[in-house]
């Protein structure tokens, strides 16, 4: 099957596009950097953003291993925040300031292509989040950023964090579809590998600046993914949306 035929077959069979959010749809690093520069200008904003994000996988691993009970991402973000504040000279922040800072994850800005790209894709497909973020966080983020989701699905719905198969297969179950009619769209190869192992289609989105301009990612194509796109507008072009 040539490339054009493959695109046509995917466009014809896929009905639901499920999107990773942090890094794929929204710019967590740039958003946190701007927040820190505005409110805490003496802090190394780049290092702070990356340190906060670095605690994300270990925190979820504690939950997935059973070492910690089921916990929403908002609460995990707060645990990580409390751990790193002393490292950056911010141990003095009070409860109100910590709550506000923790909710920066609700205020993340989308990448420039996302609203237009999602709007185009929505015309042809059902578009939903599939994020480890909790429902309240994702809803606030979408409302603020103008993200036109048809549906918001979260690890909270399935009480499992990606890459648990319950998340990927859960999307197919929600929409009463076989897994191959669902495509995960993400900027992270481990997420896509988890989806692919469950029978979902996969599309990789290049986000070379996810970790900031000083920490560019390798976004070269890898085998296994059905599609590889520069951004969501490019994905819409490939899918004929």
pLDDT tens digits, residue range 28-47?
A: 999 999 999 999 999 999 99
Angle in degrees, CA 131, 184, 50, rounded to 5: 45
When pLDDT is cut at 50, 70 and 90, the band that residue 10 belongs to is confident
CATH 1.10.3720.10 corresponds to the domain 29-106: no
pLDDT bracket for residue 7 (50, 70, 90): confident
Name the one residue in this structure whose structure tokens are 């549906």: 151
pLDDT value of position 124 = 96
The token duo for 16 is 């639901």
1 vs 161, residue with greater confidence: 161
pTM: 0.95
Give yes or no for residue 185 having a pLDDT over 60: yes
pLDDT mean across residues, the chain: 95
Position 5 scores a pLDDT of 67
pLDDT at site 4? 65
Per-residue pLDDT, averaged over 58-72, amounts to 93
Instruction: Kindly report which listed range (85-89, 119-123, 236-240) carries the lowest average pLDDT score.
Output: 236-240
| Long-range Cβ contact pairs of 137-140 (< 8 A, separation 24 or more) | 137/73, 137/74, 137/105, 137/106, 138/21, 140/103, 140/106, 140/107
Per-residue pLDDT band at 119 (split at 50, 70, 90): very high
d(CA 196, CA 95): 42
Question: Which residues pair with residue 204 across a beta bridge?
Answer: 186, 228
| Gap between the Cα atoms of 137 and 148, Å rounded | 15
User: How is the chain split into domains, by residue range?
Assistant: 3-27+108-238, 29-106
Q: Does domain 3-27+108-238 have CATH number 3.40.50.2300?
A: no
pLDDT of 210 reads 97
SS3 of the chain: CCHHHHHHHHHHHCCEEEECCECCCECHHHHHHHHHHHHCCCCCHHHHHHHHHHCHHHHHHHHHHCCCCCCCHHHHHHHHHHHHHHHHCCCCCCHHHHHHHHHHHHCCCECCCHHHHHHHHHHHCEEEEEECCCHHHHHHHHHHHCCCCCEEEEHHHHCCCCCCHHHHHHHHHHCCCCHHHEEEEECCHHHHHHHHHCCCEEEEECCCCCCCHHHCCCCCCCCCCCEEECCHHHHHHHCCC
More confident residue, 100 or 2: 100
- Is residue 173's pLDDT more than 90? yes
Answer yes or no: is pLDDT of 12 > 90.
no
How do residues 45-55 score in pLDDT, each as one tens digit? 999 999 999 99
């Amino acid at each position: 099957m040539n490339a054009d035929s493959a695109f046509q077959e995917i466009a014809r069979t896929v009905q639901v596009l499920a999107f990773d959010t942090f890094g794929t749809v929204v710019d967590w690093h740039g958003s946190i950097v701007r927040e820190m520069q505005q409110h805490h200008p003496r802090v190394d904003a780049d290092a702070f953003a990356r340190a906060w994000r670095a605690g994300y996988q270990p925190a979820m691993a504690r939950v997935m291993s059973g070492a910690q009970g089921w916990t929403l991402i908002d609460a995990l973000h707060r645990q990580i925040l409390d751990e790193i504040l002393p490292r950056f000279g911010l141990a003095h922040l009070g409860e109100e300031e910590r709550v506000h800072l923790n909710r920066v994850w609700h205020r993340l800005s989308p990448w420039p292509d996302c609203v237009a790209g999602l709007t185009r894709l929505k015309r042809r497909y059902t578009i939903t989040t599939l994020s480890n973020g909790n429902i309240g966080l994702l809803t606030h983020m979408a409302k603020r950023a103008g993200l036109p989701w048809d549906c918001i699905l979260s690890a909270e719905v399935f009480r499992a964090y990606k890459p648990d198969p319950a998340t990927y297969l859960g999307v197919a179950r929600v929409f009463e579809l076989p897994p191959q009619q669902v495509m995960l769209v993400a900027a992270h190869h481990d997420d896509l590998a988890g989806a692919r192992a469950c029978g979902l289609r996969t599309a990789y989105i290049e986000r070379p600046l996810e970790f900031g301009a000083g920490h560019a990612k390798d976004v070269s194509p890898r085998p296994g993914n059905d599609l590889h796109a520069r951004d969501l507008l490019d994905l819409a072009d490939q899918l004929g949306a």
